[in-house]
Chains A and B, each alone.
Chain A
Amino acid sequence: MPHNELNVVALVSVGAHPTSGRARRAEQDARAVELGLRLAGSKLQVVHAGDPHAEALRAYLGMGLDELAVLEQGAGADALPALGAYLSGAGAQLVLTGSQAETGEGSGMLPYLLAERLGWPLVVGLAEVERVEDGFAQVLQALPRGQRRRLRVRLPFLASVDNAAPVARQSAFGPARRGQLRAEDVVVVDDALLSEAQLQPARPRPKRLKVIKAKTGAERMKAATAKASGGTGQVLKDLPPQAGAEAILKLLVEEGVLR
């Protein structure tokens, strides 16, 4: 059910393919656009801060957008001031972002800093907007292990999506060519981080070794030959099934998995 009266803005970035590193639409940002399209249809506004000539941006246009606003700035610039200024004038009720960029620092701080700057509430891991009424939205938030939580949040608000949001639709070639990348001039602020930090190709992380802190040879022998954690569990034998089931239920309730 599209909420056609809702004013939705999606913020997108240019991603990088995880193996080839080739520029592409960013996976999570595309999901944010998908969610925005479902909510606002063709009224969705999509904004990027960066280079208006980046070809990868056309992949977003190919999802069915007529135009995409680009706040023009260089590679080392901070996107936050430009986006903050744009959003305070855009009259948006819902701003969607991905949860982490695929290039650069990728700290995932942008939605938090934007929310702090605009003074809006932030919903992390938005999975679905169930309904919008009376200035409030009822949404589902994705939790680890496939769980969902229902939240009620005041409009306007910011939401970041992760891989639990609906999968982005295919990008079609024709609309991608026809769409407009509309560049806008903004004040550029440089990001201070890159002056003191270095980006380098990712090093494989050292595998954690199983350290055996044994003082004697016999202990080392035992640690090397022991079977996987044997014999510490509780065994209930010769009980009626009810008693056994009760013990199991008690454990399930203690662990909080029985809802």
Chain B
Amino acid sequence: MSDIIRRDPRAEWIARNRLHPLHAAMQQQGTPSSWMGPNGVLRKNPHAVGFIGPNGIKRIDRSGAQQASGQRRAAAEAVQLPLHVVEQPSHIICVVPDMVGGRLSSHDKDLLGLARQLAGSGGAVLAVVFGEHKESAFDTAGVDRLLQIEGSEYAGYAPEQRLQALAAVERQFVPRHWLLPDSRSGGGELGRRLAASLRERPATRVWQVAGERCTGRAGAGREDINRPLPRLILASAECAEPVSETRHQALAVSLDNGVARCLPRIEDLGPVAVDPAAIPMAEAEFILSGGNGVQDWALFHKAAAALGATEGASRVAVDDGHMPRARQVGATGTWVTARVYLAVGISGAIQHLQGIGACDKVVAINLDPGCDMIKRADLSVIGDSSAILQALIELAEAYRNGGARDAA
């Protein structure tokens, strides 16, 4: 369309006159409140600023969120972060995230932030992911190249096989730095195994990288060790700010040569069923928590057993004597870190919500659709706790039996 602005005095008049029958239609179309004039000077129409509120009074919202139609479209557009493109990386920074539950953890994101810092503008961050994943935000986390290594030999606990794959990555990409999370969920172990096989002395528990030196905790945490930045870095959580202002390519790359299958000396016989009640609540992965809305506590315990969940409770449930004090979740109880927190009949008082701040997914079962727990929850089911727990027990048992049959 031509850039020449053509005025339509009649349309302008209708747009100004809110009593005109065509006024609403004209508002829809809208007139721009500012435009580039023919001489390259920005022109503004002060009359076009703002909108007519529900009571017929002109409103001006200077936040820019709710302006006249011309700008409303711009505001509605999703914020698209600028894309950082690395065509020919001058060097590679290799990151092996933990991917707990198939997603980047916050620790992984901090690590990618650090990797981005080390890569600078010319380098590329290569993330190595084993097996399937559920992550969709590699691009905004700062991954320039993504290497996904799949195969049944990497399933379960296979540190030696993974080491083989990382050795292949080392040969092909020759990364300037290797970055792994110094965590108990795999990164700490894999990183140290890699260090031993590459004969690199790693910096461990690193929490700060400044220029060519890095600082990490030493001993039992009473001392810091400050040393030149080595090739292999095992960093703790919050070692750097995660990437937040750029988008990256996350281009898929692959290994040129296959990875040799090593003969495992350690055989994984699978996870062992642990008594969920014996797991400390602060560490438990899956908590079923009951509050004042639970009527049938026998059923609640049965549901916890059927789901294999660790039990928790709100303060009211504890005060009423339905649960022991040690099971209380919240400000005056335990701060839990479960990945899934299933709250049954808990209203979500702030003292309770504080205790579940670190939980990933919260599921609520409650009668009241307006309570605060529903606002915090990722999935809420409105209904009577007893009926839903009963249905859940039946489904879980059916799932277990069905799963066993499929496996057989």
Contacts and interface: CB of A to CB of B under 8 A. Distances in A.
Interface in A111-159: 112-113, 115-116, 121-125, 138, 140-141, 143-154, 157
A218 B221 contact: no
Contact of A149 (B63, B218, B271, B353): B271
Contacts of A253: 399
Nearest to B287: A257
Given A151-B157, A228-B353, A233-B377, A255 B220 contact: no
B218 A106 contact: yes
A258 B396 contact: yes
A4 interface: no
B377 A201 contact: no
Interface residues of A, number: 86
B252 interface: no
B380 A235 contact: yes
Contact of A257 (B196, B202, B340, B399): B340
A147 B279 CA distance: 8
A229 to B, nearest CB: 7
A146 B279 contact: yes
B222 interface: yes
B279 to A, nearest CB: 3
B26 interface: no
A143 to B, nearest CB: 8
Interface in B351-403: 353, 357, 360-363, 365, 369, 372, 374-384, 387-388, 390-392, 394-396, 399
A193 B241 CA distance: 28
B346 to A, nearest CB: 15
Nearest to B160: A121
B388 A233 contact: no
Given A108-B204, A148-B272, A245-B388, A202 B221 contact: yes
A154 B160 CA distance: 14
B16 interface: no
B269 A138 contact: yes
Given A144-B184, A252-B307, A257 B285 contact: yes
Contact of B227 (A196, A236, A245): A196
A121 B196 CA distance: 13
Given A202-B224, A252-B340, A104 B218 contact: yes
Contacts of A106: 204-205, 217-220
A213 B79 CA distance: 13
B19 interface: no
Given A121-B266, A196-B227, A218-B63, A147 B379 contact: no
B122 to A, nearest CB: 26
B185 interface: yes
Contacts of B226: 197-198, 200
A201 B285 contact: no
Contact of A245 (B189, B217, B395): B395
Interface in A219-259: 219, 227-239, 241-242, 244-249, 251-253, 255-259
A234 B378 contact: yes
Contact of B204 (A107, A147, A257): A107
B395 A249 contact: yes
Contact of A112 (B157, B196, B372): B196
B219 A203 contact: no
B392 A245 contact: yes
Contacts of A202: 217-218, 221-224
Nearest to B378: A233
B12 interface: no
Contact of A109 (B185, B195, B381, B383): B195
A140 B272 contact: yes
Contacts of A42: none
Contacts, number: 252
B201 interface: yes
Given A199-B218, A200-B224, A255-B339, A145 B285 contact: yes
A254 to B, nearest CB: 8
B336 to A, nearest CB: 11
B196 A115 contact: yes
Interface stretch (A14-22, A89-97, A177-185): A14-22
A75 B116 CA distance: 38
Interface in A13-68: 15-16, 18, 21
Contact of A145 (B238, B279, B365, B392): B279
A234 B379 contact: yes
A63 to B, nearest CB: 20
Contact of B64 (A113, A216, A235): A216
B387 A241 contact: yes
A173 to B, nearest CB: 25
Contacts of A103: 219-220
Given A147-B271, A255-B339, 9 more contacts: A109-B202, A124-B189, A150-B270, A151-B157, A202-B221, A234-B379, A236-B382, A249-B395, A257-B285
Interface of B: 61-65, 101, 157, 160, 184-185, 188-189, 192-193, 195-197, 201-202, 204-205, 207, 215, 217-228, 238, 241, 244-245, 265-274, 278-280, 283-286, 307-309, 339-340, 342, 353, 357, 360-363, 365, 369, 372, 374-384, 387-388, 390-392, 394-396, 399
19 contacts: A103-B220, A106-B219, A145-B279, A146-B274, A147-B274, A148-B272, A149-B271, A197-B228, A198-B226, A205-B207, A213-B245, A228-B357, A241-B388, A245-B391, A249-B399, A251-B340, A251-B379, A255-B360, A256-B101
Closest 6 pairs (CB-CB, A-B): A218-B63, A197-B227, A146-B279, A244-B381, A245-B391, A241-B387
Interface of A: 15-16, 18, 21, 100-109, 112-113, 115-116, 121-125, 138, 140-141, 143-154, 157, 162, 193, 196-203, 205, 208, 211, 213, 216-219, 227-239, 241-242, 244-249, 251-253, 255-259
